Amino acid sequence: MTTIRPFTCDDMFRFNAVQKYFIYSLTLTLQYALTFYLQYLAHWPEYFQVAESCSGHIEGYIMGKAEGHGENWHGHVTALSIAPEHRRLGLAARLMANLEEISEKKRAYFVDLFVRVSNQVAINMYKRLGYIVYRTVLEYYSGDPDEDAYELQALSLVFFATRYWYMDLVVMNTARLD
């Protein structure tokens, strides 16, 4: 059975081997510098989660953050990666659901992420999870050649609650005028 739990500093030693494995297996997951991971762990620890097997093997991870201001306050998925032998088991959906729940608790209006336009498997998965293509960002990923990205978004319950509360208020005030 797989457990979703917070990422810890101790995971960094096991995490590097997993990350290297992900890169060599051509999964399209970006590899970041150690300081980048530590920055996320220090600033947004609740957004950094791992999927761990009962034997202690890290099967995947998600890394994200909260950012923006006002109605642009949102959760952001920086990286989501599942080891190839653990894909199609619902781990990515579980990790995404946790990140979305954390974002809602922080009163985020939406969750966004970027994905390579060529990564159709990931795009289809995100669409099944309720994400839509918000826009295309040209040459977002550097390489030879550079590659475009889709920014995908899913609105949170905070967004809908705010909108419906406002609409209810307008309807109530309009009814009072009659």
Tens-digit pLDDT profile for residues 147-176: 999 999 998 766 656 555 455 544 555 555
Residue 26, pLDDT > 50, answer no
pLDDT of residue 163: 54
Residue 36, pLDDT > 60, answer yes
Tens-digit pLDDT profile for residues 81-111: 888 888 899 999 999 999 999 999 999 999 9
Centroid of chain to Cα 77: 3
Q: Regarding predicted confidence, which is higher, 55 or 152?
A: 152
Domains of the chain by range and CATH? 3-177 (3.40.630.30)
Query: What whole-number percentage of the chain has pLDDT above 70?
Result: 78
Rounded-to-integer distance, Cα 88 and Cα 98, Å: 17
- Provide the pLDDT confidence category of residue 80 given band limits of 50, 70 and 90: very high
Tens-digit pLDDT profile for residues 60-74: 899 999 999 988 999
Check residue 69 and report its DSSP letter: S
pLDDT of residue 13: 72
102 with 41: CB under 8 angstroms?
no
Residues in the chain: 178
| Furthest CA-CA distance within the chain | 68
Residue 123, pLDDT > 90, answer yes
Q: Is 103 exposed, middle or buried (0-12, 13-18, 19+ CB in 10 A)?
A: buried
